[in-house]
Amino acid sequence: MLNIEYPDSFFDGVYSVEALEHAVEIEPAIREMARVLKAGGKIVIIDKNREKLGSMTIKPWERWFDPAGVAWLLKKYGISAGYRTVAYETSIQPDGLFIAWEGVKDG
């Protein structure tokens, strides 16, 4: 995630599910995803909500995220994004563990 081997503005969409928490260097990972996204392209990131930290055992290096903080980083790199809670299955209500950030890169 820190060195995506594609040129700038290459993809129409970028999708990351439970990967950002393993990037360790979060801002550079978001910057890199934004770099390879075309203007008008869509990004979706799904990862863990910091508000639920402690609800499961994790590795010391894992990161859980402040929803507004990730939205702010996306905005910093030219992506207007919102967020909402999601669940792994459509048959259950989201419990707040997972957040989905969805945005479009400014043109």
Query: What is the secondary structure of 50-86 as a DSSP string?
Result: GGGTTSS---TT---B-HHHHHHHHHHTTEEEEEEEE
Kindly state whether residue 83 falls inside one of the protein's structural domains.
yes
Residue 46: strand pairing partners: 17, 100
Q: Give the model's pLDDT for residue 61.
A: 85
Answer yes or no: is 101 within a domain. Answer: no
31 in a domain, yes or no?
yes
pLDDT-derived band at 9, boundaries 50, 70, 90: very high
Residue 78: domain span: 11-95
How much is the pLDDT for 105?
A: 98
Q: Is residue 106 part of a domain?
A: no
Evaluate whether residue 1 is within a structural domain. Answer: no
Read off φ and ψ for residue 5, nearest 5 degrees: -85, 55
What is the domain count for the chain?
1
Sequence-ordered list of residues with C-beta below 8 angstroms from that of 87, at least 6 positions apart, any chain: 93, 94, 95, 98
Kindly tell me if the per-residue pLDDT of 7 is higher than 90. Answer: yes
pLDDT band at 24 (very low <50, low <70, confident <90, very high): confident
Residue 59 lies in a domain: yes
* 107 within some domain: no
pLDDT in tens, 31-88: 999 999 999 999 999 999 999 999 999 988 889 999 999 999 999 999 999 999 999 8
Among 61, 81, 72, residue whose Cα is nearest residue 20: 61
Q: Are 2 and 31 within 8 A, CB to CB?
A: no
Q: Has residue 105 been placed in a domain?
A: no
